[in-house]
Amino acid sequence: MPVVRISDDAGDTMTLLDINERFFPVLRTPGYDQETEIRGMESWEARCNDVLVCAYPKSGTHWVWEIVNMLINQKATRIPSMKESAMLEGSSRNIMQSMSSPRILNTHLLFCDIPRDFVEKKCKIIYILRNPKDVAVSFYNHHVRLLDYEYSGTWRSYLPRFLSGRVDYGSWFDNVLHWHEATKSLPNGSIHVMTHENLHTSTEEEIRRLAEFLGVGCNNKLSREICEMCSFSVMKQDKDPLEDASEWKHGEPGIYRKVNRDRANIKSEGTFFRVYKKDRWGIGETGSRWHRTRCSQPCMNRKWRTRTLHWSTDTTKSRAYLGHFFNITSRQKRPQ
């Protein structure tokens, strides 16, 4: 298995799986051939009533996956498993085939890397956005606390790593832009885009919007019950016991943690905007620390490589899209 140790500017290393220039977390599940399953994923079969929840890591996948399950089941009952049990890149073809319908699945993959059958069968696809400043802090806590990463770097050395995509699933910027292009390439309404911030501040309204997209009913009583069951405190209480504490530093599960961006030095926010305004779009200094030599993300899926998206061909629209996101998230209350 192509396990690599990726170093940051301070020399701290992180253990990841490298498959076709894509970084993944290393899963050490006995009997599970992670590399073989990921490489063979392009031929996996979808079902017409599948629902796929997609997001960059630490953007609210657990939260939305739980909500979607309750909406599909039409009752606010806790799902007795973690979302990893239904995660494309963390599962196998056989496990996926054995799941009963409708399957509520999730992934952190780019659009071009999900099995093509999900698009051809017009499955419901949901994409979640979250302020990258909060994603970075949450991902940092995830990386230093989960033992499989073998990472112990500081926030000062981690931020450049995050911004340059030297983490599992690569760059947040590339991920968001890739999915933005995907929403434009498909018929209107094929992908439901939602933000973590709106879900936090207007939970019931976002739940009803999600229900409308899924084509299921959701009266005020159901939306209120789902809202209560999916609150941070209740989910942490119910889900933490399902985690394997031995995988976490000090034996303390860290999936459900409140974000405290102030602790990670709020001054670092300026770095995000410098990257956003200049280097990520190839219009800054070519000698910049964050300059990318590639203008596109290569697709793992060989059949889809012809659809690789080049951000430089649509720089103005891409900047406007992300600029809007930065503006709306900076005005809203910080998510917990």
pLDDT tens figures, 206-248: 999 999 999 999 999 999 999 999 888 887 777 666 665 566 6
Using pLDDT thresholds of 50, 70 and 90, give the confidence band for residue 287. very low
Task: Please report the pLDDT score of residue 322 as a whole number.
Answer: 55
Structural domain spans, the chain: 3-30+45-331
Task: Please report the pLDDT score of residue 59 as a whole number.
Answer: 94
Which carries the bigger pLDDT value, residue 330 or residue 278? 278
Q: Which residues form the catalytic set?
A: 108
Cβ-contact 332, 317 below 8 angstroms: no
Q: How far apart are CA 318 and CA 322, in angstroms?
A: 6
| pLDDT score of 313 more than 80 | no
pLDDT tens figures, 34-71: 999 999 999 999 999 999 999 999 999 999 999 999 99
Cα 249 to the center of its chain, rounded Å: 22
pLDDT tens figures, 271-282: 665 665 554 443
> Which architecture characterizes domain 3-30+45-331 according to CATH?
3-Layer(aba) Sandwich (3.40)
Q: How far apart are CA 229 and CA 232, in angstroms?
A: 9
Task: Please report the pLDDT score of residue 151 as a whole number.
Answer: 94
Give the CA distances from residue 139 to residues 12, 128, 286, in Å, rounded to whole numbers and listed in that order.
Answer: 16, 16, 28
Task: Please report the pLDDT score of residue 133 as a whole number.
Answer: 85
Using pLDDT thresholds of 50, 70 and 90, give the confidence band for residue 299. low
pTM of the complete model: 0.81
Using pLDDT thresholds of 50, 70 and 90, give the confidence band for residue 283. very low
Q: What is the mean pLDDT of the chain?
A: 79
Q: Is the peptide bond before 80 cis (omega within 30 degrees of 0)?
A: no
CA angle 242, 131, 183 (to 5 degrees): 95
Using pLDDT thresholds of 50, 70 and 90, give the confidence band for residue 294. very low
HEC assignment per residue over 189-214:
CCEEEEEHHHHHHCHHHHHHHHHHHH
Q: How many CB atoms lie within 10 A of CB 104?
A: 26
pLDDT tens figures, 72-107: 999 998 887 777 789 999 999 999 999 999 999 999
Q: How far apart are CA 301 and CA 43, in angstroms?
A: 9
